[in-house]
Structure 1
Amino acid sequence: MTHGEEVGIPKPLIEPIDRALQDADDLMGSQNQPGARVTVGLAPCVIWGVDRPTLDETRKLADQRQAFITMHLAETPFEIANATERFGMPDVEFLDVIDFLGANVLAVHCVHCRRKDVRILKLRDVKVSHNPCSNMYLASGFAPIPDMLMAGVTVSLGCDGPASNNNQNMIHTLKFGALIHKGYHQDATVMTAEKVLEMATIDGARALGMEQDIGSIEPGKKADLVVLRFDNPFVTPVHAPVSSLVYSALGNEPETVIIDGEIVMRDRVIQTVSKEEVMREAQKAADGLAQRAGTDKFKHRPWRSFATK
């Protein structure tokens, strides 16, 4: 981030634009090699964490590197108000005016997109990452996903970070991605199980510009496969497999995972790392971070049956 101390961004997290972009350029140069499984893009994060020069230079570097850009857009009313105060218009509209948007931009959340914003996203071929669990957890609101789909916007499905979800379970996200819009619109047909699964697979690949390589099982694409087992009481009986996956599965159904032809999980045992060791190290790192941040005190907060202001 290069801006935002006045809205609460800690000063150590604000860095000079030149250094931030140079670090990003160096990282892309070392990581974005042909055939690489993990590649790096640019993430200016949120409109209230950057200024106009940062956005211009980010767009310039993305064009030079043919890199992807991801950014939170229209997630909260505050975000829109901040952009309007600083730039004279909401964030989506402003980014369009300065020629920041394009087919290599993945807009995250888009909860408070207006109809005008949806038209802009479609016109510029911007992709959207829908994060229903995060949006509900943070009480951000309900993204107009059915409207985006009707307009022809590519919408993918995401979990957001664990700090704003508490879970990285994509199977849970499938179900919430369908139910949240059925409930909001009071229309059980507004989202289908098949469309939600597409959002998590082929539309996710399209959102990253990788639909030629992944996202579906087709000749010539990478062998990325998940084998699911439905022989548990939560899913049985199975009549329509896609519907069972979206509405009944809990997340422990994956039995085997294959990435680019490599089996990374077999019979529910991860082959590449020690799950137990990773969990121990994760807990240790989280405890250390909470202690340094002073938030470890919340582990012992009193029981609350009702939220209080």
Structure 2
Amino acid sequence: MKTRTLLSVTLNFLALFFAVTAFVTTYWCVGTQRVPKPKCSKLRTHQCIDYGVNETDPNKVVYSWETGDDRFLFRQFHTGIWFSCEENIHDESERCRSFIDLAPASEKGMLWLSVVSEMLYIFLLMVGFGLMCVELVHSSNVIDGLKLNAFAAVFTVLSGLLGMVAHVMYTQVFQVTVSHGPPDWRPYNWDYGWSFCLAWASFTCCMGASVTTLNSYTKTVIEFRHKRKTFEQTIRGENTREAYGYFRDHSLHSISKSVDVYSSQSLKSGRRTPIPADSLDLSDFAASLGEEQC
């Protein structure tokens, strides 16, 4: 049981760590955005569009209908639950915007529900982790340990369900935002990032912790019931043997006290008069037997 409890605590800690890391980072989805190149100036002479006379500088692009996509830049972006950040084409910094503001109005309710579910997921993971730690420290009392184990399993299972719902809802909101979001934000191509992988790794560890905790609880209850049944059968067998010996001894003792001795007068008269064995003098009875035999 100690090994299972340690395994449950470890998996729950990993699930909590991964969930918090994914929640505060902005790499759930990554990709590139296609944006028009800026106009060339004295400060910017590369990766720009010169609408004037074509010069010999190959880095300057003169826009024409034949060049097509040469007038666009591809900048990297990464998006999380709270913010979406993209490269600034004018310098090497990043510009971040609230992803909640970028989502379409029809999807804001689902996005907020995803955020609340994610927060509840982390909170229930913390509660389950705390209960498992208390059980690990105070493991001397079996009954208290079983209660803590049961509550920890319930909280962990509930947190896993909330986490799964939150991740699925965020994925749906992001896909809708890609199609119906602001034109200056819509990705050219995108994929899931390492924060998204951490979120599902957290869910996997959470489910592993809940299964391990339930397994430990079930195994302990079955062992406890088996030991109790064995103990009751042993006590019942001992009581049966003691009762049998008591009634046997009591019956023999009662029979020895109820021996009926019939006198010769009673035999002649045809009546049988019981005489208690306590009032009978065995020596006189033996003497009378000897005289009759003579």
The structure showing larger relative contact order (alpha-carbon pairs under 8 Å, at least 6 residues apart) is: 2
Q: TM-score range by the shorter chain?
A: under 0.3
The structure having more radius of gyration, on CA atoms, is 2
**TM-score, normalised relative to structure 1:** 0.19
**TM-score, normalised relative to structure 2:** 0.19
